[in-house]
Amino acid sequence: MRVKLNMIHKQLRLRGLIIRTFLRPRNEKSFIRTNALLRRYLNWKYPLDLVVRECAIPREDGRQIRAIVCAPIQNIGQATGVLWLHGGGYAIGTPEQEFPYAQEILGIANAVIVIPDYRLSLDAPFPAALEDAYAALLWLKDNADSLGVNINQLFVAGQSAGGGLTAAVTALARDRGEVAVAFQMPLYPMLDDRMNTPSATNNNAPAWDSHSNRICWQMYLGDLFGTDKVPPYAAPARLSDFSNLPPTYTFVGDIEPFRDETVNYIKALRDAGVSAKVDVFEGCYHAFDIIGADKEIGKEATRRWVEEFKYAVGNHYAENQPRAI
């Protein structure tokens, strides 16, 4: 998909042009530089309207995963437990960049949000990020009482690569049977390493294009990239069984690479009998809700996911039993 300037929503056009011209990572080294800048600028800078603390989640190898826990100033207990996974192509990103999403959630729901600093592909390829995200989900379940979380209302959500990781973690949880996820919200998710859909082919849209997509899949999958051995837990578009996954909501822009794989994922869920919904926004590129957060189109995308999340809080539960640890 070749994206011309007049195809971009007018509210996003100027910023898109600037991003496409000056801010697009072109190779692995540029991702390394971008990640260093992100962490230098964002790490340990917490909003004042939330209770934010850092915690350590144990990994199976004995090491620990740094995580941020966000809670309302007054935690009244029986909160919705949310595992939120940050974006960044599996290569960059930090939990602190997701505070705007946490603030939106805590503005409308009694919730506790856990955002793990999962291992990035720059340091360790698949399955490192998945293992860390799943460990964080189990930690959320196992510590529900101390966190003030309702063990029967555990959600998983995230954006971009965090959306892809959301779909992967949710499928893994279904298959292992250790934790039941009540709702998932993989926003404009990174799902398909094959990159062969019309929207993912030769896409030159701002913020994320086919070139960036290919670099990040190569870094994430390592020697698996370009083979038929890529497991569905790495690229959930490859799932063969979409049944018994939790109710799902997402949105995506119609000129970004992930449009088709997102729409196809929702269709596969529906065909398997899962309640699933996608909103497609015309003229919008990747992460437009963040880049255009002050624009009406960005506000509308946020309003819609907030509405769906609020509905899920009032309606979606999945019974969990404490694990023997």
Question: Residue ranges of the alpha helices (H) in 23-143?
Answer: 28-42, 99-108, 128-142
In this predicted structure, the answer to whether residue 14 has a pLDDT above a threshold of 80 is yes
What number is the average pLDDT over the span 109-126? 96
pTM, full prediction: 0.95
Q: What percent of the chain has pLDDT over 70?
A: 97
What number is the average pLDDT over the span 114-135? 96
Split at pLDDT 50, 70, 90, the class of 31 is: confident
Q: Rounded mean pLDDT of the chain? A: 93
- 153 three-state secondary structure: strand
Question: How far is Cα 170 from Cα 149, in angstroms, rounded to an integer?
Answer: 19
In this predicted structure, the answer to whether residue 15 has a pLDDT above a threshold of 80 is yes
Q: Which of 287, 293, 245 is nearest to 266 (CA)?
A: 245
Query: Do residues 86 and 97 lie in contact, with contact meaning Cβ atoms separated by under 8 Å?
Result: yes
- Express each pLDDT in 214-245 by its tens digit: 999 999 999 999 999 999 999 999 999 999 99
DSSP string covering 224-275, please?
GTTSTT--TTTSGGG-S--TTPPPEEEEEETTSTTHHHHHHHHHHHHHTT--
Split at pLDDT 50, 70, 90, the class of 22 is: low
Check if CATH label 3.40.50.1820 holds for domain 5-315.
yes
What number is the average pLDDT over the span 198-208? 95
> Token pair of 64, please?
């620990």
In this predicted structure, the answer to whether residue 40 has a pLDDT above a threshold of 80 is no
> So what's the pLDDT on residue 23?
63
> So what's the pLDDT on residue 296?
98
Element (DSSP H or E) covering residue 145: helix 144-147
What number is the average pLDDT over the span 310-325? 90
Buried b (16+ CB within 10 A) or exposed e, 149-176: bbbbbbbbbbbbbbbbbbbbbbbbbbee
Query: Do residues 188 and 250 lie in contact, with contact meaning Cβ atoms separated by under 8 Å?
Result: yes
Q: Locate the domains of the chain by residue range.
A: 5-315
Query: Cβ atoms within 10 A of the Cβ of 184, count?
Result: 29
Split at pLDDT 50, 70, 90, the class of 25 is: low
Q: Which amino acid is at 30?
A: S
> So what's the pLDDT on residue 103?
95
In this predicted structure, the answer to whether residue 39 has a pLDDT above a threshold of 70 is yes
Query: Do residues 172 and 181 lie in contact, with contact meaning Cβ atoms separated by under 8 Å?
Result: no
CA–CA–CA angle 117, 121, 123 (5° rounding): 80
Residue 103, phi then psi, degrees to nearest 5: -65, -40
- Express each pLDDT in 136-171 by its tens digit: 999 999 999 999 999 999 999 999 999 999 999 999
Tokens 């849209």 correspond to what residue? 205
Compute the Cα dihedral for 271, 273, 274, 276 and give only its sign. positive
